[in-house]
């Protein structure tokens, strides 16, 4: 007896499935497990791993999206971080940047600091919260197929999108990488500067 147990989606497999599609957009991640996993797949100067400012990755993405409206901006967030700054969702809606894709990896846990359960472990639904905040394009993915399809759609569509990926609470072996915050900042700034120069050149 008993049903087939479907393994939960891994955040790393989600990131791996889309890493090659992020060559031309600006990517902002939160700190901790997401940043380390994403960086382990290959760093690029258009990737910025926001340190310390928990809850503010979408706000950073919003600023970039408004300043660079022709550029697709992708934010990789965590459930604990979004829950810490739910007002960030309402601010996104106030400006509705059509070029912003907000991916929230919901592992129902503050994994990077020991794995304490968050409110999504006790019934709160971040996609529903985002929708109620006013983000019309909101989806939840439970499988890698759902995730990649929803992500590809979001990248093709000029509309603010919130994609919640329900993932297992597992992370990388280590969270320390050899790229310093300052070096990352200089590289990222250089990338944006070059974008602006290319735009000016025609
Ligand atoms: C303002 C602030 N509070 C607390 C922390 C410590 N901290 C770093 S990562 C983290 C957990 C992030 O949780 P979540 O967004 O769910 O991502 P996960 O670690 O599960 O991938 C916490 C509490 C911080 N960096 N900044």
CA of 190 to the centre of ligand 1 (A): 28
pTM: 0.96
Residue 174 CA from chain centroid, whole number? 20
Does ligand 1 lie within 6 Å of residue 34's CB atom?
Answer: yes
- What pLDDT tens digit does each residue of the chain (202 aa) get? 556 777 799 999 999 999 999 999 999 999 999 999 999 999 999 999 999 999 999 999 999 999 999 999 999 999 999 999 999 999 999 999 999 999 999 999 999 999 999 999 999 999 999 999 999 999 999 999 999 999 999 999 999 999 999 999 999 988 888 899 999 999 999 999 998 888 788 7
Q: Where are the alpha helices (DSSP H) in the chain?
A: 11-18, 33-40, 57-67, 79-84, 87-95, 126-133, 144-156, 181-201
Does ligand 1 lie within 6 Å of residue 81's CB atom?
Answer: yes
Which of 15, 30, 54, 58 for a ligand 1 pocket mutation test, highest count of atoms within 8 Å of Cβ? 54
Residues 6+ apart with CB under 8 A from 54: 30, 31, 80, 81, 84, 85
Does ligand 1 lie within 6 Å of residue 52's CB atom?
Answer: yes
CB 100 within 8 A of CB 128: no
Q: Which atom of ligand 1 is nearest to the CA of 82?
A: 15
Long-range CB pairs of 110-119, under 8 A, 24+ apart, other chains included: 110/80, 111/32, 111/33, 111/78, 111/169, 111/170, 111/171, 112/31, 112/32, 112/33, 112/78, 112/171, 112/175, 113/32, 115/169, 118/79, 118/80, 118/83, 119/79, 119/83
Separation CA 120–CA 80 (nearest Å): 9
CA of 198 to the centre of ligand 1 (A): 36
CA of 108 to the centre of ligand 1 (A): 12
Residues 6+ apart with CB under 8 A from 64: 26, 28, 71, 73, 192
Does ligand 1 lie within 6 Å of residue 109's CB atom?
Answer: yes
Which of 81, 104, 121, 170 for a ligand 1 pocket mutation test, highest count of atoms within 8 Å of Cβ? 81
Residues 6+ apart with CB under 8 A from 68: 26, 99, 192, 195
């Amino acid at each position: 007896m008993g049903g087939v147990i479907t393994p939960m989606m891994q955040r790393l497999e989600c990131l791996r499935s889309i890493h090659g599609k992020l060559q031309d957009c600006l990517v902002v991640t939160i700190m901790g497990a997401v940043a380390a996993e994403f960086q382990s797949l290959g760093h690029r100067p258009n990737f910025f791993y926001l340190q310390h400012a928990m809850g503010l990755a979408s706000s950073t993405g919003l600023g970039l999206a408004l300043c660079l409206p022709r550029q697709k901006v992708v934010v990789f967030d965590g459930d604990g971080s979004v829950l810490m700054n739910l007002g960030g969702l309402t601010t996104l809606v106030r400006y509705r940047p059509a070029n912003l894709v907000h991916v929230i990896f919901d592992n129902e846990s503050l994994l990077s600091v020991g794995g304490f359960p968050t409110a999504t472990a006790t019934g709160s639904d971040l996609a529903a919260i985002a929708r109620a905040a006013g983000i019309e394009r909101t989806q939840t993915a439970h499988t890698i197929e759902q995730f990649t399809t929803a992500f590809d759609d979001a990248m093709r569509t000029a509309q603010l999108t919130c994609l919640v990926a329900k993932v297992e609470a597992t992370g990388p072996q280590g969270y320390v990488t050899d790229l310093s915050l300052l070096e990352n900042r200089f590289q990222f700034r250089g990338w944006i500067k070059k974008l602006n120069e290319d735009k000016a050149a025609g």
